[in-house]
Amino acid sequence: MPTQDFIDLFTTDDWRKDVFLKEVTVGFSSLYAVNKYPRNRELEPIDSYNFYYGHKAKLFRIAETYLIAAEAAYKNNDETNAKKYLNLLRAARGLTAITTSGSNLFADIQNERNRELAFEDFRLYDLNRWGLPVKRGTLRM
């Protein structure tokens, strides 16, 4: 289940929140459940006793390619291209362009990776590469 910090990463005009997450009611509480791949047979449990989901990573994904290019450009002190690649992805998602620079630009790249690649097993590798700790957030209940 996503944390409140993750949910707060999405702006009101970011349609990915409505696609990736679904607010459900359990008892008297509502919470967000992951809804990124509804009715995808490849992600259904292998059997009723084993809830391992056979998630198959996509070999080539344009969104990830733009994010890799943005991060690489930033790390090579090329903020112009970092913004270009990040904004190509954001434009494809119907979002406004990023205009930040410096460490704020890198934070925007990191947050965009978190939003775009959510629930696809990238996060731990990203945190490790960036030298950041795993933070246990509060679940949105």
Give the integer Cα–Cα distance in Å for 130 and 141.
29
User: Mean pLDDT throughout 36-45?
Assistant: 59
Tell me: do 125 and 68 sit in the same domain.
yes
Give percent of the chain with pLDDT exceeding 70.
81
Is 34 inside any structural domain?
Answer: yes
pLDDT at 48 over 70: no
Band (119; pLDDT cuts 50, 70, 90): confident
> pLDDT band for position 138 (50/70/90)?
confident
Q: What is the DSSP letter of 44?
A: S
In a domain, 107, yes or no: yes
* Domain identity same for 75 and 124: yes
